[in-house]
Every structure is written in structure tokens, then in C-alpha cells.
């Protein structure tokens, strides 16, 4: 299914609603290969008759081309468990609250938290940079002093001339 069929209104929304009410829809699998990320996404709808579980499984897979994608999808589908950024199991009530929109991003939290910085490590890095800067400044002052010892000019005057 193309992406639009999962979220457009009108007749498509009525069809999605009916599939949920009849408890036929078992899973929605968003399938994208790394080379297709910028192209239209495709989804696979899995239907089953005589289901006892009314929840719908949502899976988002980006296949990197090494043929592990399909095995991964089958494993996730069989386990029917929530996996952050990858899979979720959603009740028909929640789907109804979303106007029967079946697009995976409504149900799978795609947020990836950035790791927190180690404050002590950052302080140590800043201190090391400050120490290196101070060491470089001292080396520069020593070099300027060596350069100006035989002439009638001091290091401060050289720095002032360089800054002009």
C-alpha cells in the first residue's frame, strides 16, 4: 500500500474503519530500504480472519540490504511486543481516536534521545584546553622575548605591531 492509503480520509478511511471493526487487520508493516528512504514509503497490511486479539501490530523497518530485514520483521511480528522506534501493539480504540489513520508514526515513538553529556568529562576537556592555551601563550611569549632580546623593542611592542 502507498502511504496515502493509510491516512487519507473519505472512502479510504471508511474502508480502514471497517477492517478494524471486523477485526481483520492484524499488522501494518512500514517497509523502506536504505536506498529508498527519500522515495515513497510502502506498507504491507497483514489480514487474518477469526482473530481473537483485537490489537493491531505496527512495525517500522528500514532494510539495509543485507537480507536481515525480512527475518527481523518475522521475529518482531511473532513476538508482538513493543520495541522503541521499531514496533508497537495498538488497541482499536486508539486507532479510532486517530480517525483510523494507519500510518506507523502515529503509533511508534520515533524519538531518539541524545545521550546526556558527562559534565565532569566536559569540565576536564575545557580545563585541558585552557591549560594548552596557557602553555601556548607562554611559549609564544618566550619566543617573542628571544626574538627581541638583541634589538631595542620588547615583546609587548611586537604583539602590538602584529595586531595592527
This model's pTM is above 0.75: no
The answer to whether the CB of 79 falls within 8 A of the CB of 89 is no
Strand 56-63 and strand 25-33: the pairing is parallel
List, for residues 47-102, the tens digit of each pLDDT value. Answer: 998 899 999 999 988 766 666 667 788 888 898 988 888 899 999 999 999 999 99
| 116, three cell numbers | 546526556
Judge whether 50 and 20 are in contact, CB under 8 Å.
Answer: no
- Across all residues in the chain, what is the average pLDDT? 83
Residue in the block written with cell 480502514: 16
* Residue 161 pLDDT: 73
Amino acid at each position: 500500500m502507498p502511504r496515502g492509503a493509510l491516512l487519507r480520509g473519505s472512502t479510504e478511511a471508511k474502508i480502514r474503519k471497517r477492517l478494524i471493526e471486523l477485526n481483520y487487520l492484524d499488522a501494518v508493516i512500514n517497509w523502506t530500504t536504505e536506498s529508498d528512504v527519500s522515495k515513497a514509503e510502502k506498507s504491507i497490511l497483514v489480514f487474518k480472519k477469526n482473530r481473537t486479539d483485537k490489537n493491531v501490530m505496527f512495525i517500522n523497518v528500514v532494510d539495509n540490504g543485507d537480507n536481515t530485514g525480512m527475518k527481523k520483521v518475522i521475529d518482531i511480528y511473532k513476538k508482538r511486543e513493543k520495541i522503541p522506534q521499531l514496533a508497537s501493539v495498538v488497541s482499536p480504540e486508539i486507532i479510532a481516536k486517530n480517525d483510523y489513520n494507519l500510518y506507523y508514526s502515529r503509533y511508534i515513538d520515533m524519538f531518539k534521545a541524545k545521550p546526556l553529556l558527562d559534565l565532569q568529562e566536559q569540565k576536564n576537556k575545557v580545563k585541558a584546553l585552557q591549560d594548552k592555551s596557557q602553555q601556548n601563550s607562554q611559549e609564544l611569549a618566550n619566543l617573542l622575548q628571544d626574538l627581541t632580546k638583541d634589538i631595542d623593542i620588547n615583546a609587548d611592542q611586537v604583539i602590538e605591531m602584529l595586531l595592527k
